[in-house]
Amino acid sequence: MPAASQFLGFGLGLRTNYYQEILEQRPAVDWFEIISENYMVEGGKPLYYLDAIGEHYPLVMHGVSLSIGGPHDLDNDYLKRLKALAERVKPQWISDHLCWSRGSAHHLHDLLPLPFTEESLSHVASRVRQVQDVIERPLVLENASTYIRSAGDKFTEWEFLSALSAESGCELLLDVNNVYVSARNHGFDPWEFISSLPADKIRQMHLAGHTDYGTYLIDTHDHPVCDPVWELYERTARHFGPVATMIERDDHFPPFAELMDELEKARSIAARAFAKEPACV
């Protein structure tokens, strides 16, 4: 069965700090990932830069407000605006998170975990199909980093993701850093998580940094990728083969050249892994 990845290379998150530099330098980035909600506006500089950069690079849409696992009805106005943005951007794919993030009237500005139960699986799969009917393509869902777990879980997270993709047709965004963070927080084997996922459903991977508080990790996206996550990524790339991969940075923004260095490191590690060469010690 062909992999969902349809490999696109190595990308970066498109952030306002780097707009002008990207346009002036045309860096060797294969694609950029946008935060969908930042561009659901009527006009202004965000859309100007989005259009300008989109003339030179493929784009991917990544959302944070879908609340696919939430208890309330999906926000139809949000879905209409998401589709309108997709018609403008013509993204390679559209992703969001396996989580819930909205109460009855307000967004909670956090990616909250779901209970991994049969009832939850049926609920989320139905909502995924509803979203896919609107956007007219597979929805790509990311594993979020988590800090608490439901006492009533009947699945592991990787079992839930695998079952959800089989039942709904969604694809998966594998965040290697999030796996590492959750594994440290909950005490499971990160490789069991990754190696148990269906290879034909992996569309994209994320790499990012986190903050280590000793007894727990927080997914902050404000540090470089750490060595254990690089090692896990190399093993993952060796296992799945070519999958579009990006560096995610959302705070403590470094000079753009430093992000490019991280991206080149990802390319190098992936090339070694794809060639099945021995891992660096």
* pLDDT for 277: 72
In a domain? residue 281: no
Q: What percent of the chain has pLDDT over 90?
A: 86
Name the burial class of residue 46, with classes exposed (0-12), middle (13-18) and buried (19+) by CB atoms within 10 angstroms of its CB. Answer: middle
| pLDDT at position 230 over 80 | yes
In a domain? residue 280: no
Q: Average model confidence (pLDDT) for the chain?
A: 94
pLDDT class of 1 with cuts at 50, 70, 90: very low
Region 108-137: what's the mean pLDDT?
A: 92
In a domain? residue 68: yes
Would you say 245 and 204 are in contact if contact means Cβ atoms under 8 Å apart? yes
Residues 87 and 84: their CA atoms lie apart, in Å, by 5
- 238-255 residue pLDDT tens: 999 999 999 999 999 999
In a domain? residue 133: yes
In a domain? residue 178: yes
In a domain? residue 155: yes
Structural domain that includes position 53: 10-274
CATH number at residue 196: 3.20.20.150
Specify the higher pLDDT residue, 280 or 241. Answer: 241
* pLDDT for 210: 96
In a domain? residue 5: no
In a domain? residue 1: no
Taking the complete model, does pTM exceed 0.85, yes or no? yes
| pLDDT at position 237 over 60 | yes
Q: What percent of the chain has pLDDT over 70?
A: 94
> How many structural domains is the chain composed of?
1
pLDDT class of 281 with cuts at 50, 70, 90: very low
Backbone φ, ψ for residue 174 (5° rounding): -90, 110
| pLDDT at position 105 over 70 | no
